[in-house]
Amino acid sequence: MDTEVKLQNASYPCRMVTDEEIAHYHEFGWVQLKSFIDPAMLTHLLSKAVAVMGEDGDCNPSYGIDQPYFNAQAAGGMADPATRVLIEKIGYNAKHLMARKANIAVRYYTDFFAPKLPAARKTKNMGNGPTSFHQDFITFAVDRTGGMTFWIPLEAYGPEAGTMSFINKSHRLGVLGNYTSYGGQDIRDVFPELRGCEESPQIIYALGDITVHNHLTVHGASKNLLNRPRWAYLVLPQPADAVWNGAPPEAFDPTGMTAYQPFSNERFPIIAE
């Protein structure tokens, strides 16, 4: 059975989170979900990424933000029936991880490919450097917390590929500013209280493993020392009651939107009730 047929027949391209994983996420601000996703889905996603970005992960036009973390490309997963099923299942996992006492739905925010390019190569696009420690929240221009990133490596990777590490419990410190505002300093020097938090080891991902991190959790990664891209696919769910706060966002085009009004269900559909 080829990958496309298998994916079309798959009711569950990923599993559900366990109570223990939910507890870890709330305690530390992130969690590794082992054997979470069907390898056939990873093959499908990688083939989509390569078709758009090339084998070297560097053939797409620049997405307009010059930073060394990765080279991003919109994935448009909601338009692909197979990937849409995955995103919807991720939505239900996100709802469990958010654990809101009110029955708040989960909204699709964006999905994109994010290969970290090899550090030893000269690249057309940015994205072949280390990922400085930072929070995601401020860049997404929403008015409330609760969002998270499902970080899905498309192959098995270890630290030599520039995998992430997390500052445990940093999500409890609140909003720590935009990563571009530190004047080249490390966030741990700008906010010395982070030095009192334990840093996780760089994650080792077997095929099918992923991590999920809260958008307030400080995280970073080293350079990719492989001679090929470190391929990753990211899905970002948000609580459905979040609204655009009027600031310039990095994840979407706000043309036609009004600050503090609900996101459009057409552009940002509900993926878990």
pLDDT digits (tens, 9 = 90+) for 64-74: 888 999 999 99
The rounded Cα 197 to chain-centroid distance in angstroms is: 22
Q: CA-based angle 187:159:54, to the nearest 5?
A: 100
Tokens of residue 267, six digits: 């552009």
**Considering only 114-118, 134-138, 154-158, 249-253, which range has the smallest mean pLDDT?**
249-253
Between residues 185 and 64, the one the model is more confident about: 185
Q: Report residue 184's pLDDT band, with 50, 70 and 90 as the boundaries.
A: very high
What is the extent of the structural domain holding 84? 17-252+264-272
Please provide residue 239's backbone torsions phi and psi, each rounded to the nearest 5 degrees.
Answer: -60, 140
Q: Classify residue 227: in a domain, yes or no.
A: yes
Say if residue 109's pLDDT is above 60. Answer: yes
- For residue 10, being part of any structural domain is answered with no
259, part of any domain: no
2 located within any domain: no
| The pLDDT of residue 234 | 98
- Residue 7 in any domain: the answer is no
What are the backbone angles phi and psi of residue 161, rounded to the nearest 5°? -90, -5
Q: Does 6 map to a domain?
A: no
Query: Is residue 65 one of the residues assigned to a domain?
Result: yes
pTM higher than 0.75, yes or no?
yes
CATH number for 240: 2.60.120.620
- With 70 as the cut, is the pLDDT of residue 225 above it? yes
Q: Kindly state the percentage of the chain with pLDDT values over 70.
A: 96
pLDDT tens digits, 127-170: 999 999 999 999 999 999 999 999 999 999 999 999 999 999 99
pLDDT, residue 65, reads 83
What pLDDT does 64 receive?
A: 85
Query: Could you read off the pLDDT of 86-106 as tens digits, one per residue?
Result: 999 999 999 999 999 999 999
**pLDDT, the chain, mean:** 95
56 occurs within a structural domain: yes
Indicate if the pLDDT at residue 19 is higher than 90. Answer: yes
Q: How many domains does the chain have?
A: 1
State the SS3 of the chain.
CCHHHHHHHCCCCECCCCHHHHHHHHHHCEEEECCCECHHHHHHHHHHHHHHHCCCCCCCCCCCCCCCCCCCEECCHHHCHHHHHHHHHHHHHHHHHHCCCCCCCEEEEEEEECCECECCCCCCCCCCCCEEEECCHHHHCECCCCCEEEEEECCCECHHHCCEEEECCHHHHCCCCCHHHCCCCCHHHHCHHHHHCCECCCCCECCCCEEEEECCCCEEECCECCCCCECEEEEEEEECCCEECCCCCCCCCCCCCCCCCECCCCCCCEEEC
